[in-house]
């Protein structure tokens, strides 16, 4: 099968049951996305599929051959970090870092959802664009990504900085 990851095409000979997460980690050497639970419960494996955030442990690689896959390795560089990466650095939004690639990919996808005006479970009736990045909104929108270190308080301002708020 052919997978396009961070703008590069890869031809791979994989078992059709291989998940995107295992294809990335075990066959392409891209170990940024982490395997926390392998059950869609922790968000450590979050990557972007055509810009949408997805738990890559739940998606079969064979079904993503026409998809642009973006991982933490493709978001920014050490010299030029993505604004969300910059926010996490500036606000110390991590401790051990195990959940961090998933948190950052999820935040990138989440900010795109906010830009599109998509509501969350925390969105109040009549909320304006400025309300979509309140603390409650950010926490709800990021609630699929767990952090066993409890670095959540610093992730909120990190994400708000990246959003330019
Ligand atoms: Fe995919 Fe936990 S490893 S959600
Ligand atoms: Fe350690 Fe989140 S920083 S799990």
Ligand 1 atom at shortest distance from the alpha carbon of 34: 3
Residue 116 and residue 152 share a domain = yes
- The residue among 74, 94, 119 that closes a domain is 74
Residues 6+ positions from 53 with CB-CB distance below 8 Å: 46, 47, 105, 106, 108, 109, 110
Residue 103 and residue 33 share a domain = no
Distances (CA, A) of 93 to 62, 81, 121: 34, 14, 24
What is residue 8's predicted lDDT score, i.e. its pLDDT?
98
Regarding the beta carbon of 98 and ligand 2, being less than 6 Å apart is answered yes
The percent of residues above 70 in pLDDT, for the chain, comes to 99
Regarding the beta carbon of 57 and ligand 1, being less than 6 Å apart is answered yes
Residue 90 and residue 157 share a domain = yes
What is residue 107's predicted lDDT score, i.e. its pLDDT?
98
What is residue 153's predicted lDDT score, i.e. its pLDDT?
97
Tell me how many domains the chain contains.
Answer: 2
Regarding the beta carbon of 44 and ligand 1, being less than 6 Å apart is answered yes
158 vs 164, more confident: 158
Residue 158 and residue 91 share a domain = yes
- The residue among 41, 74, 107 that closes a domain is 74
Task: Check whether 75 has a pLDDT greater than 80.
Answer: yes
- The residue among 47, 74, 101 that closes a domain is 74
Regarding the beta carbon of 144 and ligand 1, being less than 6 Å apart is answered no
CA distance 13 to 17: 12
Where residue 108 sits, what CATH number does that domain have?
1.10.150.120
What is residue 17's predicted lDDT score, i.e. its pLDDT?
98
Where residue 70 sits, what CATH number does that domain have?
3.10.20.30
Q: Which residue has 């990138």 as its token pair? A: 108
CA distance 56 to 76: 20
Q: In a 3-state reduction of DSSP, which class is residue 66?
A: coil
Summarize pLDDT for 114-123 with one digit per residue, the tens: 999 999 999 9
Q: 122 near 137, Cβ under 8 Å?
A: yes
Task: Check whether 6 has a pLDDT greater than 80.
Answer: yes
**Distance, CA 63 to ligand 2 centroid (Å)?**
30
Residue 30 and residue 10 share a domain = yes
Residue 69 and residue 87 share a domain = no
Residue 41 and residue 21 share a domain = yes
What mean pLDDT is reported for the chain? 96
Residue 89 and residue 139 share a domain = yes
Tokens coding 116: 């599109």
Domain containing 106: what range?
Answer: 83-162
């Amino acid at each position: 099968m052919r997978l396009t990851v961070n703008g590069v095409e890869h031809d791979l000979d994989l078992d059709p049951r291989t998940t995107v997460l295992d294809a990335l980690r075990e066959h392409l050497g891209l170990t940024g996305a982490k395997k926390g639970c392998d059950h869609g419960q922790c968000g450590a494996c979050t990557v972007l599929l055509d810009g949408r955030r997805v738990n890559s442990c739940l998606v079969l690689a064979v079904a993503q051959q026409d998809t642009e896959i973006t991982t933490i390795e493709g978001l920014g560089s050490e010299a030029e970090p993505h604004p969300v990466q910059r926010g996490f650095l500036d606000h110390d939004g991590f401790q051990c870092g195990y959940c961090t690639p998933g948190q950052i990919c999820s935040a990138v996808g989440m900010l795109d959802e906010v830009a599109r005006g998509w509501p969350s479970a925390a969105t109040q009736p009549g909320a304006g664009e400025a309300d979509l990045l309140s603390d409650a909104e950010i926490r709800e929108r990021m609630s699929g990504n767990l952090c066993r270190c409890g670095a959540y308080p610093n992730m909120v301002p990190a994400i708000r900085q990246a959003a330019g708020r």
